[in-house]
């Protein structure tokens, strides 16, 4: 797949040109609207700095959360504009609208090497519309911000699996290029997709089997082992006949898990012990490590147990390629983070001791690495796109990448 890159655009020259950049700033916020993980902002900096250094007039589009096509101050990009200003060392103005009067005035007023951010593109219902004409109308208005001789740079890897106006349709209306982040993500992830060195170990967690079903189906023929933890493991354990009490369960997926275990039971590795809690809030809960049928009545499991970590680590120690997507437990609560931390450290050991090529597939997995204070250099690549990385591994076409091809 061949596409133009940021280097191609810089070689053509960007001085004095408006460049519209689609970034992924869908960062987590706490109740005080403070950013709790700025990883996606940090990942955007190389592309933005290169354009600014080249003298471009940079207009950035992004989304935050799911405001459902309505203006909602809770999803304003104001915290992002502030964090980006600090990270770049220069002021990043935030327009009060997306394609309205303020956005146009600010875009027209940019000088060489200046940058602005328009408000959350998902404040406009046309961004995510299923109607191509509606999306196209919005894309026309976004492209108009770049004026004559403008360009579009796609640098939000976390959204390239979406055929949305600011990702897909606008790329048909301006000369389009892959940013540094998107190019790097595709290069690294394709190493796993195309020719993974064996043994190839996949680690899957998170809450729902349904979210990972396509990956399990797609990778069962390629991977040597698939290690399953997190909330999704309880549906598999239920399929095996274990009573997981009040643990998270997708009842409608139990039969699917039975089928997966029947077909791929030699590859799927499940926990052998669990952390049980009397209630979800770890500060109030009584905790105990139990075997698979030892969860007390009405309790729930919130993490895999230490023997499971040891078992998973033994498999990872033999690996040469690792793809990890999804935490092993409720890592946001310290008492429930030991499984995720233990498995993450085993992946780091594989990187350093085996020379394994290890990829963290974005989403909560990437957030957990930073939340737990783990060494990010201990992984070969930490993706910024959870859903995008999963769909790429499933072998699906990513609309936001396909539209860049020439």
- Whether 40 sits among the annotated catalytic residues: the reply is yes
| Helices 386-394 and 180-194: angle between axes, nearest 10 degrees | 40
At 376 the three-state DSSP class reads: helix
Lowest mean pLDDT among 7-21, 60-74, 178-192, 384-398: 384-398
Is residue 297 within a helix (H) or strand (E), and if so which, with residue range? Answer: none
The three-point CA angle 289-290-292 to 5° equals 140
pLDDT grade, residue 1 (50/70/90)? low
On the CB side of 249, CA atoms within 13 Å amount to 15
Is 365 annotated among the ligand-binding residues? yes
Average pLDDT over residues 208-224: 89
pLDDT grade, residue 246 (50/70/90)? very high
Round the average pLDDT of the chain to a whole number and report it. 95
Q: Model confidence over 124-153: pLDDT tens digits?
A: 999 999 999 999 999 999 999 998 899 999
- Whether 294 sits among the annotated catalytic residues: the reply is no
Ordered by start, the domain boundaries in the chain are: 6-183, 196-394
Q: Which fold has domain 196-394?
A: Rossmann fold (3.40.50)
Is 355 annotated among the ligand-binding residues? no
The answer to whether 6-183 and 196-394 have equal CATH topology is yes
Evaluate whether 184 touches 382 at the Cβ level (below 8 Å): no
Average pLDDT over residues 181-209: 93
| Helices 209-219 and 386-394: angle between axes, nearest 10 degrees | 40
- Whether 263 sits among the annotated catalytic residues: the reply is no
pLDDT at residue 388 above 70?
A: yes
Is 326 annotated among the ligand-binding residues? no
Average pLDDT over residues 344-352: 97
- Whether 400 sits among the annotated catalytic residues: the reply is no
Is residue 399 within a helix (H) or strand (E), and if so which, with residue range? Answer: helix 399-402
pLDDT grade, residue 362 (50/70/90)? confident
pLDDT at residue 49 above 80?
A: yes
Q: Which fold has domain 6-183?
A: Rossmann fold (3.40.50)
Cα(190)–Cα(169) distance, rounded to whole angstroms? 25
Is 338 annotated among the ligand-binding residues? no
Measured between its terminal Cα atoms, the distance across the chain in Å is 8
pLDDT grade, residue 373 (50/70/90)? very high
DSSP 40-97: HHHHHHHHHHHHHHTT-EEEEE---S--TTS--GGG-SHHHHHHHHHHHTS-EEE-SS
pTM of the full structure: 0.90
């Amino acid at each position: 797949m061949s596409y133009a890159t940021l280097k191609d655009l810089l070689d053509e020259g960007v001085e004095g040109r408006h460049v519209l950049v689609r970034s992924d700033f869908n960062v987590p916020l706490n109740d005080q609207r403070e950013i709790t993980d700025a990883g996606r902002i940090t990942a955007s900096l190389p592309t933005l700095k290169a354009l600014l250094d080249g003298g471009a007039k940079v207009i950035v589009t992004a989304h935050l959360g799911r405001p459902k096509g309505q203006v909602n101050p809770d999803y304003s990009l104001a915290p992002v504009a502030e964090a980006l200003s600090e990270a770049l060392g220069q002021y990043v103005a935030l327009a009060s609208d997306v394609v309205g009067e303020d956005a146009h005035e600010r875009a027209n007023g940019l000088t060489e090497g200046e940058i602005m951010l328009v408000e959350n593109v998902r404040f406009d219902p046309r961004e995510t519309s299923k109607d191509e004409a509606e999306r196209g109308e919005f894309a026309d208005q976004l492209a108009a911000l770049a004026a004559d001789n403008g360009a579009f740079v796609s640098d939000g890897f976390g959204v390239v699996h979406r055929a949305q106006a600011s990702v897909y349709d606008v790329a048909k209306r301006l000369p389009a290029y892959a940013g540094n982040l998107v190019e790097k993500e595709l290069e690294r992830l394709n190493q796993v997709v195309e020719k993974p060195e064996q043994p190839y170990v996949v680690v899957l967690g998170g809450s729902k089997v349904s979210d990972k079903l396509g990956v399990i189906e797609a990778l069962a023929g390629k991977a040597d082992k698939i290690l399953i933890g997190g909330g999704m493991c309880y549906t598999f354990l239920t399929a095996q006949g274990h009573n997981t009490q009040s643990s998270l369960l997708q009842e409608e997926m139990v039969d699917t898990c039975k089928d997966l275990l029947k077909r791929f039971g030699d590859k799927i590795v499940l926990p052998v012990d669990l952390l049980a809690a009397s209630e979800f809030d770890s500060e109030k809960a009584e905790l105990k490590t139990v075997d698979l049928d030892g969860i007390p009545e009405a309790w729930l499991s919130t993490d895999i147990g230490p023997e499971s970590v040891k078992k998973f680590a033994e498999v990872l120690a033999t690996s040469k390629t690792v793809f990890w997507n999804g935490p092993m437990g409720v890592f946001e609560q310290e008492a429930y983070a030991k499984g995720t931390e233990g498995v993450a450290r085993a992946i780091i050991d594989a990187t350093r001791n085996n020379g394994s090529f290890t990829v963290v597939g974005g989403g909560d997995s990437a957030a957990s690495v930073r939340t737990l204070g783990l060494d990010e250099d201990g992984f070969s690549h930490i993706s910024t796109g959870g859903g995008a990385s999963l769909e790429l591994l499933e072998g699906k076409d990513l609309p936001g990448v396909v539209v860049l091809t020439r």
